[in-house]
Amino acid sequence: MHSAGGNTSEAKLARRDAILAAVTRASERLSEPLPWTTLVPDALRILGEATRVSRVYIFDVERRDGVECVSQRFEWCAPGVTPQIDNPALQGVPLDAGGFTRWGELLRAGEPVFGDIDEFPESERPLLEVQEIKSLLVQPIFEGKRWWGFLGFDACASVQSWERVEVDTLRIAALLLGAAIHRQTRESQMLEVQKLEALGRMASSVAHDFNNVLMVIAGAMELLKGELDAAGARGIARGTHCEMVDQALDRAGTLTRRLLEFSRRQTGRPQVVSPLELLRREEPLLRQAVGSKARLKIIDGSSGSRRVESVCIDPTEFAQIALNLAVNARDAMSKGGELTFEVSTLDATEPPASFDRMTDGRWTLIRCTDCGEGMTTDVLAQAFEPFFTTKPRDRGTGLGLSTVQGIVTASGGHIRVSSTVGHGTEFRIYLPVASAH
């Protein structure tokens, strides 16, 4: 027992006061304008010293292949305690298969898990005992309404009994942590949108000016061709040179059109539409885009009484999303394959995307899957960046996915991607279900 002051009620009161003061200090720390990941180590230390436990840690939860798994992300250890941060057994622990279904149920419902390990169910003990834990307290962390992970306190030296008031106070610490995470996710999303908007404005003005320059060159070129023809001086070599200039003009024209499309998304006209119907309407165009080697499938992924619900988006912009994804899939499936668009609406109760990190709400999901060459982690990390491309100079502008992301974000949605080299890529677009329908 870390009973520095014995068990007298005075000592208990002193301990409570210390915990309360620590939660206040940790909260002040967490509200500083720095990334929460930078602030967390200090916050954990403050809480650890006040509670006099052996370890304080944070786990996050994510879905891997549909299975809810938890992983340790941060840890503070008291002097002399064996750290667990590098323990591979605490990475990607499946809650159900790992014997921690009870934890999942309690934490998801906003309830803590605490007590002596000796009194815990058989299935939970092995993993806790190897860490020499005698008693623990684990409080859920919520990002908005979504269960994000948990904040835990281990006592290893001896059993530590948690008083209700301590449990509640430490719950506040977990709430504050969740609020810090939530605030920063929102901030970074907003920054991303602002960056794209600024880039859009810049792209638009450059494209307009550039287009004017092109018009002058194209006009002069036409005159020149006419003069050469009139003088009977076009000849083979000059003809080829003229063609090269024409081709370059074409290419430059395409580039400016893409830049204009990219920036125009800000002036979209959202309507309440069914993504499934839009995809079906665009099917001929999409089929052409994926080329003759690959197949295209558009699937209604609704099941039972669940219908695909409408979303609010500019239909032209939605078509632009689908077209960009289709062209990318075609490029990735040079040997042929299949591209599927599957549309479904997620149940409000379903944790749609706990692995995709979103706040709650009702979402219509458009899943776009190809079986192409996939992306390496490096490419994946940059895929959405404007002007990032792995394609030859004269093929890709690198604006496709950033356009897609811009449209999705401006429509209040989210886009996620997973990819395996040699197997394929899946884009998941979540659009909020339109309330008026």
Ligand X SMILES: Nc1ncnc2c1ncn2[C@@H]1O[C@H](COP(=O)(O)OP(=O)(O)OP(=O)(O)O)[C@@H](O)[C@H]1O
Binding site for Mg ion (CB under 5 A): 328, 400
Task: Kindly tell me which of 149 and 372 has the beta carbon lying closer to ligand X.
Answer: 372
Write down the least CB distance from residue 70 to Mg ion, Å.
36
369 binds, options Mg ion, ligand X, none, Cβ within 5 to 8 A by partner type:
none
354 binds, options Mg ion, ligand X, none, Cβ within 5 to 8 A by partner type:
none
Does position 379 bind ligand X by CB under 6 A? yes
Does position 196 bind ligand X by CB under 6 A? no
Does position 26 bind ligand X by CB under 6 A? no
Write down the least CB distance from residue 289 to Mg ion, Å.
11
Binding ligand X by CB under 6 A: which of 110, 396, 412, 432? 396
74 binds, options ligand X, Mg ion, none, Cβ within 5 to 8 A by partner type:
none
Does position 210 bind ligand X by CB under 6 A? no
Write down the least CB distance from residue 292 to ligand X, Å.
18
Site track 304-343 with ligand X (rule: CB under 6 A), x = hit: --------------------x---xx--x-----------
Q: Which two tokens stand for residue 196?
A: 């794209």
Task: List the one residue out of 397, 403, 231 whose CA is nearest residue 324.
Answer: 403
Task: Kindly tell me which of 84 and 324 has the beta carbon lying closer to ligand X.
Answer: 324
Does position 383 bind ligand X by CB under 6 A? yes
CB 59 within 8 A of CB 72: yes
Binding ligand X by CB under 6 A: which of 64, 293, 391, 437? 391
Binding ligand X by CB under 6 A: which of 319, 351, 388, 418? 388
84-92, 155-163, 176-184, 370-378 -> range binding ligand X (CB under 6 A):
370-378
398 binds, options ligand X, Mg ion, none, Cβ within 5 to 8 A by partner type:
ligand X
Does position 398 bind ligand X by CB under 6 A? yes
What does the chain come to in residues?
Answer: 437
Binding ligand X by CB under 6 A: which of 52, 342, 370, 408? 370
425 binds, options ligand X, Mg ion, none, Cβ within 5 to 8 A by partner type:
ligand X
332 binds, options ligand X, Mg ion, none, Cβ within 5 to 8 A by partner type:
ligand X
CB 76 within 8 A of CB 41: yes
Write down the least CB distance from residue 328 to Mg ion, Å.
4
Q: Which two tokens stand for residue 77?
A: 């250890």
Residues 154-193 that bind ligand X (CB under 6 A): none
Task: Kindly tell me which of 31 and 390 has the beta carbon lying closer to ligand X.
Answer: 390
Residue nearest to Mg ion (CB): 400
Q: Which two tokens stand for residue 424?
A: 């394929």
Q: Look at strands 146-155 and 135-143 and give their pairing.
A: antiparallel
Residue nearest to ligand X (CB): 400
Binding site for ligand X (CB under 6 A): 324, 328-329, 332, 370, 372-375, 379, 383, 388-391, 396-402, 425
